[in-house]
Amino acid sequence: MKKSLAALILFAGLNASAQTPAHEKLVQYVKPIIGTQRMGHTYPGATVPFGMVQLSPETDTPSYELNGKYNPDVYKYCAGYQYDDKTIVGFSHTHFSGTGHSDLGDFLIMPTVGALKLNPGTADKPGSGYRSAFSHANEVSEANYYKVKLDESNITAEMTTSARVGFHQYTFPKSDQSHIILDLMAGIYNYPDKTVWTYVKILNDSTLVGYRQTNGWARTRTLYFAMAFNKKFTQYGFKKYEKRQVYGGFWGKFNQSKNFPEIAGKQIRAYFDFKTEADEKIKIKFALSPVSMDGAMANMQAEVPGWDFDKVKTDGQALWETALEKITVSGSVAKKQDFYTAMYHTMINPTMYMDVDGQYKGIDQNIHKADGFTNYTTFSLWDTYRALHPLFNIIEPQRNADMVKSMLLHYDQSPEHMLPVWSNSGNENWCMSGYHSVSVLADAVVKGNAPFDANKALDAAVATARHRNYEGIGEYIDKGYIPDEKTGVSVSNTLEYAYDDWAIAQMAKKLDKMDIYNEFIKRSENYKNVYDPAVGFMRPKLANGTFRAKFDPLSTINEGFIEGNSWNYTLFAPQDPEGLIKLMGGDKRFVRYLDSLFTMELPDKYFAETEDITRDGIIGNYVHGNEPSHHVAYLYNWTDKPWKTQERIRMILNRMYKPTPDGLGGNDDTGQMSAWYIFSTLGFYPVAPASNDYAIGSPAINGAVIQVGGGKIFTINVKNQSEKNVYIQKMVLNGKPLTGLSITHQDIMAGGEITFFMGSKHK
Amino acid sequence: MKKSLAALILFAGLNASAQTPAHEKLVQYVKPIIGTQRMGHTYPGATVPFGMVQLSPETDTPSYELNGKYNPDVYKYCAGYQYDDKTIVGFSHTHFSGTGHSDLGDFLIMPTVGALKLNPGTADKPGSGYRSAFSHANEVSEANYYKVKLDESNITAEMTTSARVGFHQYTFPKSDQSHIILDLMAGIYNYPDKTVWTYVKILNDSTLVGYRQTNGWARTRTLYFAMAFNKKFTQYGFKKYEKRQVYGGFWGKFNQSKNFPEIAGKQIRAYFDFKTEADEKIKIKFALSPVSMDGAMANMQAEVPGWDFDKVKTDGQALWETALEKITVSGSVAKKQDFYTAMYHTMINPTMYMDVDGQYKGIDQNIHKADGFTNYTTFSLWDTYRALHPLFNIIEPQRNADMVKSMLLHYDQSPEHMLPVWSNSGNENWCMSGYHSVSVLADAVVKGNAPFDANKALDAAVATARHRNYEGIGEYIDKGYIPDEKTGVSVSNTLEYAYDDWAIAQMAKKLDKMDIYNEFIKRSENYKNVYDPAVGFMRPKLANGTFRAKFDPLSTINEGFIEGNSWNYTLFAPQDPEGLIKLMGGDKRFVRYLDSLFTMELPDKYFAETEDITRDGIIGNYVHGNEPSHHVAYLYNWTDKPWKTQERIRMILNRMYKPTPDGLGGNDDTGQMSAWYIFSTLGFYPVAPASNDYAIGSPAINGAVIQVGGGKIFTINVKNQSEKNVYIQKMVLNGKPLTGLSITHQDIMAGGEITFFMGSKHK
């Protein structure tokens, strides 16, 4: 094992601040293509860290409906791109990374030559529309850069971004009929009425502005744009695809479909025509704003005043380099590709959500201004409270604090007076269970990363957790569990609420609000109320206090759970592993339970019930592709067999993450799967966020250096690590033996050094 | 004849400023019900002068479509109310006054008791929905006050307004099931997709905000509201009527249809429940904003902070009193009712269009701020350039100047870089022909009422008139007329452009821009190019310079004209009556032509082609109910038979205007019909706006005093006037005989006195 280069530099007495490490460029290891095949739901396009624009190709965007019914194919295209597809429809400016439900895909642009075709056509006949065949051989996907050759037109498409501006560069062949198509109907998780309204205003022969209002997963969302070409178009026009037209009485005065500067309607595709020489580049700057067309134009002018494509690309990649350098690891190229792509995927969502002047649209549908902080959106909190936000508290503490501020403003502006559940672009879609934003707040407060009003955060958490008419909270408060009669997900909700309540209690304790601590620490024990000792599982309970007769611990749907069966969810008391083990009959029975989980054969009929993941996302009956069991492999630490944690973690790392397009075993879930990877690779994991403790796992690299802020570093040395040497023989922290199975947040943030001594046999 | 009371007071030496006249209240003569029967298209509800809120009952709002086709019934309901109807659907907050196409009808409110019915039901079965029968016996309609008893519920509804706030007061019976329904789907000229989006946010147990976005005559329009009750509702909810629902995945967490504070969708009706005691009043303040929900709330707080219904009513009526006092007339009660209702109808549209802080949404769909002036919308310029804006230049010069400023900002913000044609709420619907905004600008500049950038006004007018791709302007410039091949309205457009060009020339002359003067004075003669001396009519001309063979001077549709046949439009050269008379063969033939127009029998088949008016709106073949002939009766002044003008004017006044619900012979057209009435009743008329001259007609009152600003008055004495004594025997202006047939704008605005001596025989 060799020390990481950065660590060596440090040892040589050099300054260790984030700016100085003279090591190799880490951005080279980012492979955005990882996860684009099958269920990863990532995208290969260009974005900067936490950028508002995610400019990426769509290989398909099937309709949400097919013959009046839900179209299951739509699910594959949550990020608009599937690696196995042979055609590209176009390039749009907004994408979620790794989600299991979706939206966005705004403002699809496609360059074409020849006769104008305003319909995309079909994948089996790319020439039938503006869609084009492409080949991965002609495709380049880097952090903040995407390039592909479009076979139909022989156009080379390149794209890069700044935070709020997508920059396209299309190299055309010689043609008198070169077109740029702007499809305002296209979208991800689209259905016929999703586009509520579209407006476009042509300002001059090379500039336009407009907006698109959608009713999607974000129910009421308007996104504004400004679009500038580096070359004057010779003419322009549009076609409407809606059945019903606006009152037509007096519109005959103009030919509105051609060279008319004001376009509006529900289903619109516009085009801009050019004559191009061979290899002529048409460049497009496409700025977004959640506030106004003026805002979009101001964003463009502030971020990309000129036309230097390479500068925008380079500037954005420099941002990535700085972000990636927060952790330097040593290991194989494949390991670094896995690691830095995981780092990359943790820094896409949440996304910045405000104009350069700080204005944004709140969930109250009013315009607000973020003063002195960055406002964020895209909070997939059921996923990300687990490891993503804890990771931010180490490597991006300022951003995490700003995310908390954004969540507190959401609370202020929320008509329901609740913290976000799954929020996007000033909308709440209530996706998934629990009120896990409280965990994010508590984790930041408990760990001392709280440059916000912590008492207000506590108030918001308490108000949210006392919201009696939110999914069974009233019954939960009254009975200590949610009755099965109330909801089909009564058990998982009860368990998640109990954890969240514990997080609130920890925050209250930190803030010395002991009445609140007492209320919520009591609530946090509610997990015990749905455990049926007769069967040894968490089990749906009726309002009368008896357990429901019908019960299958392998089944999820209608069995009281969501995205996890009772076998997995029974282990969901991360706040109290000791209590859980006691409840379940002590160490021996608990280890046997865990072993069974990882090794049992899951009958096919149950696999169909595990949502969002491929068969690869499951080990035995352990479902890594969904989140509820992300802490489970670490639970052996609380038994007399902690080495089994080390073994399982390495197995999961090996089986669930590969540096290939199909390298993710399930949805990346806006970075939670990647955050699990980063922590577990480094050798520790936040089993219970809102605690200062990280559970020790098994480091899977040869060493790492974490920039923990203020010029301090935390060095991880891993001696004798290999695919076989997965067992910890001993640990030394800052020169002293580490005998427990955890390290604290303070251990890390103070800077220092931990050394793992690995071996092939467990101790 | 006796002098008007105000004039007598003046003669007694009292100060004559606008504030002081101690005469009877003029507001008593305002009968908003005039014109609500048949084709007047006025409404009986409450508004203040030029107010942003027009709160009025809807008796019906039929769908624009019936079985997939245009529903001709929709036309009757341009203002939402037809006097002959027996039921009221509810009370909405926005209405055009007197238009022939329509929109608006936003935010319909209806109080009910008993079982909740969220559908309006049908007129023949009012109990089948929330609709109620009513009787005119239980109806009061005053300026800024409307009251009606709803027979179904026994609720007395009263309403009044401030500029931006509608104030409802509903006196309920005792009931445990009292409801206020807020129908967000209802609207005028409605069709199934017109409501693009609706959003409602409940702030507390008595306050809500929201908005409604529509795709109507105003293509892209969002109107925001804030609604406050004086009593807490016990519960609330809504129902969605759209077929397709939003993604439903995670919404089961709440019962969203009841007591859930965030409502959004396309087709929504909401309700608010109360328990009421006998005669308990539920009051509602309903504020509008074109900018935001915050803006609506600020408007409410600024204009109506308290709950004093009577104060709001009294304050608004005081505004009307001040506005009406600009002209005091003496005459019968019926005459005063006609006159002051006409005054009232001239001061509804255009309407104020900005928040209390000056913000408004421009036609560029951006938010702007009006600094130092009032921004207006609802410009029906094809109608109003003729007499309404000239009237404002006398009695409301400041408002007219602000309207010009609003039009110039429209020009600045217009994607087409054109002055408004028919604009409403930051939208252009291009209704009707010509570019008559230039006449409004020129009239203000020529008359010296130009506290705006007059050179900029000229630039805007010229740019608009040179807009080659606007409805034949290119051909008009090249050939001197619009070829019949280009458009079905080639002749009327050619004639109107020629007049507008003359107006531009006058403005240019006033501003000493002689090159522009020369260009446009030449263009103004283009009217001659479509006159066919062989038939003695203006006639469609082909691109090759020959007249079209097929021609029927009595027909309008597809004959080269709009809202007027060739018989009427042949007289449309108000800028050059002498030239026209010469063109048509001299005095004798011209008088015979005019006489024929007024006396001929129009065969039934042609009547069907005269749009927007009842049979009563026609005298012979003279169509008063449409505007193109509004100057025609005055044209005798340019012949040797000027007494025929006097006779015709009195005939038109008598036949076209009555103080009854059916008292208007055609659409009031946002006040143009009423402005014609006011001028003609006073004895003069602006035949060619942008000229300083008014043609003398025949005064139809016994005297009048006009407040012309700066404390000055212009007094009109009419001696010996009666229904028979319609002929002017002599005129004296400021003590000197007036021998011509015109007075100037300066004569009026300088203050002074004119005396008409009337007799039963023409001189």
* pLDDT per residue as tens digits for the range A398-426: 999 999 999 999 999 999 999 999 999 99
Bridge partners, residue B697, by sequence: none
Based on DSSP, count helices (H) and strands (E) in chain B, helices before strands.
19, 39
Which of A188, A235, A246, A611 to mutate: most B Cβ within 10 Å?
Answer: A246
Question: Is pLDDT at B74 greater than 50 in this prediction?
Answer: yes
Nearest-by-CA chain B residue for A192: B244
B129-146 burial string, b = 16+ CB within 10 Å, else e? bbbbebeeeebebbbbbb
**What kind and span of H or E run contains A708?**
strand A703-709
Both tokens of A386, joined, read 């687990």
Q: For the packed helices B454-465 and B514-523, what is the interaxial angle rounded to 10 degrees?
A: 40
Paired sense of beta strands B736-737 and B727-733, if any: antiparallel
Confidence check: pLDDT of A607 > 80: no
Per-residue confidence (pLDDT) for residue A618, from 0 to 100: 84
Of chain B residues 168-227, which have a CB less than 8 A from chain A? Answer: 189, 191-193, 196-197, 199, 201-203, 211, 213, 215-217, 219-220
Q: Which phi and psi angles does B741 have, rounded to 5°?
A: -115, 25
Q: What is the mean pLDDT of residues B205-227?
A: 96
Residues in chain B with CB shorter than 8 Å from the CB of A215 are: 197, 246, 264, 266
Chain B residues whose beta carbon lies within 8 Å of the beta carbon of residue A471: 253-254
The Cα A49–Cα A47 span in angstroms is: 7
The interface residues of chain B toward chain A in range 239-268, judged by CB-CB distance below 8 A, are 244, 246-247, 249-255, 259-262, 264, 266
> Quick one: DSSP state of residue A602?
P
Phi (first) and psi of residue B274, to 5 degrees: -145, 160
> What's the mean per-residue pLDDT of chain A?
93
> Which tokens in the block code for residue B423?
């604009």
Q: Which band of pLDDT confidence, cut at 50, 70 and 90, is reported for residue B626? A: confident
* Rounded CA separation A127/A91 (Å): 17
Chain B residues 607-646 within an 8 A CB cutoff of chain A: none
pLDDT in tens, A64-89: 888 888 888 999 999 999 999 999 99
Residue window 353-392, chain A: list those with CB within 8 Å of chain B: 364-367
B215 contacts A470? CB cut-off 8 A: no
For residues A483 and B15, what is the distance between their CA atoms, to the nearest angstrom? 82
Q: Give the model's confidence band at A242: pLDDT under 50 very low, under 70 low, under 90 confident, else very high.
A: confident
Any B CB within 8 A of A432 CB: yes
Whether residues A217 and B487 touch (CB distance < 8 A) is answered with no
Scan for tokens 């079985």, then name that residue.
B67
Which residue type is seen at B399? R
Nearest residue in B to A473, CA atom: B253
Under an 8 A CB cutoff, do A250 and B432 touch?
yes
Q: Per-domain residue ranges for chain A?
A: 42-322, 326-759
Task: Kindly tell me if the per-residue pLDDT of B429 is higher than 60.
Answer: yes
pLDDT of residue A611: 60
For residues B623-640, give the mean pLDDT. Answer: 95
In what side-by-side order are the strands of the sheet with B379-380?
A: B379-380, B422-424, B427-428
- Cα(A751)–Cα(A588) distance, rounded to whole angstroms? 38
* Domain at B326-759, CATH from 3.40.50.1370, 3.40.50.720, 3.10.28.10, 3.30.2080.10: 3.30.2080.10
Q: Does the structure show a pLDDT above 70 at B28? A: yes
pLDDT of residue A518: 98
Select from A97, A99, A104, A106 the least CA-distant residue to A42.
Answer: A97
What average pLDDT score do residues A522-537 get? Answer: 98
Q: Which residues from chain A sit within 8 angstroms of residue B259, using beta carbons?
A: 469
List the beta strands (DSSP E) in A143-234: 145-150, 155-161, 165-172, 175-183, 195-204, 207-214, 221-229
Fold of B41-313: Beta-galactosidase; Chain A, domain 5 (2.70.98)
- The CA angle A386-A387-A391, to the nearest 5 degrees, is 145
Of residues B425, B413, B495, B424, the one with CA closest to residue B460: B413
User: What number of C-beta contacts closer than 8 Å exist between A and B?
Assistant: 124
Q: Do B250 and A429 touch (CB under 8 A)?
A: yes
Q: What is the mean pLDDT of residues B622-647?
A: 96
A544-585 pLDDT, tens digit each: 999 999 999 999 877 899 989 999 999 999 999 999 999 999
B294 interfacial to chain A (CB closer than 8 Å): yes
**What percentage of residues in chain A have a pLDDT greater than 90?**
87
- In CATH terms, the fold of domain A42-322 is Beta-galactosidase; Chain A, domain 5 (2.70.98)
Predicted confidence (pLDDT) at residue B249 exceeds the cutoff of 80 = no
The model's pLDDT over A153-206, given as tens digits with 9 standing for 90+, comes to 999 999 999 999 999 999 999 999 999 999 999 999 988 789 999 999 999 999
Instruction: Say yes or no for a CB contact (<8 Å) between A415 and B262.
Output: yes
ipTM: 0.92
- Per-residue pLDDT tens digits for A24-47: 999 999 999 999 998 999 999 999
Is the CB of B292 inside 8 Å of chain A's CB atoms?
yes
Contacts of A124 (CB under 8 A, 6+ apart): none
Alpha-carbon distance B461 to B459, whole Å? 5
Q: Closest Cα of chain A to B188: distance in Å? A: 13
Of residues A220, A254, A432, nearest to B197 (C-beta): A220
Confidence of residue A255 (pLDDT cuts 50, 70, 90): confident
Q: What pLDDT does B126 receive?
A: 85
The nearest alpha carbon in chain B to A194 belongs to B246
CA–CA min distance B265, chain A (Å): 8
Q: From the CA of B472, how many Å to the nearest CA of chain A?
A: 8
Contact at CB, A197 and B196, closer than 8 angstroms:
yes
Q: Which pLDDT score is estimated for A608?
A: 72
pTM of the model: 0.94
The DSSP code for B689 is B
Question: Would you tell me the crossing angle of helices A333-346 and A309-324 to the nearest 10 degrees?
Answer: 100
Nearest CA in chain A to B367: A292
Query: B431 to chain A: which residues are within 8 Å by CB?
Result: 249-250
Is A614 strand, coil or helix? Answer: coil
Length of chain B, in residues: 763
Interface test with A, best of B202, B222, B246 (most A CBs within 10 A): B246
- For A517-538, what is the mean pLDDT? 98
Q: pLDDT digit string (tens) for B729-762?
A: 999 999 999 999 999 999 999 999 999 999 999 9
Of the ranges A287-291, B530-534, B610-614, which one carries the lowest mean pLDDT score? B610-614
